[in-house]
Amino acid sequence: MVRQKWLLPGLLLLVGAALFPYGLIGEMLPWANGLFDRFSSLTAHVVGHAGLFMLLGTAVLITFPRLRTHPRLYLGAMLLLGGLQEVLQLVGFKHRSLMFDDFFDVGVDVLAALLVWLIFKQWRSVHERI
């Protein structure tokens, strides 16, 4: 029971971290730019998005196990989080209109979340046979 007590607060903390526009830190604290320079290449940026949304998707499916049997609802929620993250970045520090890159990032987010859902589905089917 203690474990479940911390699931929702942990998920909310993770969602907050995922939605935070990190580029804003670089604008406010120029000395911190070195921390985020590692995500300047396309590969690192894609890996960062995928890793973040795989972690977030895993946390969502652990916190809300019913979503494991409702992929549309789960993927819709992850699409909403990915879109919200991009909007907050645009408003928070990018100060530009939507571009293809923003849609690409959301696509990577949803694909990462889908991969997590497929892994959970496979894990569940293997354990049901045992």
| Chain segment 58-73, per-residue pLDDT in tens | 999 999 999 999 999 9
The contacts of residue 68 (CB under 8 Å, 6+ apart) are 61, 74, 117, 120, 121, 124
Q: Which pLDDT does position 8 carry in this prediction?
A: 87
Distances, alpha carbon 41 to alpha carbons 37, 90, 100, 110, 112, in Å:
8, 19, 16, 20, 19
Distance CA 64, CA 71 (A): 12
Residue 1: pLDDT band (50, 70, 90) is: very low
**Average pLDDT estimate for 3-23:** 83
> What ranges do the domains of the chain cover?
2-129
pTM: 0.83
Greater model confidence, 120 or 38: 120
Quick check: 3 pLDDT over 80?
no
CB atoms within 10 A of CB 32: 13
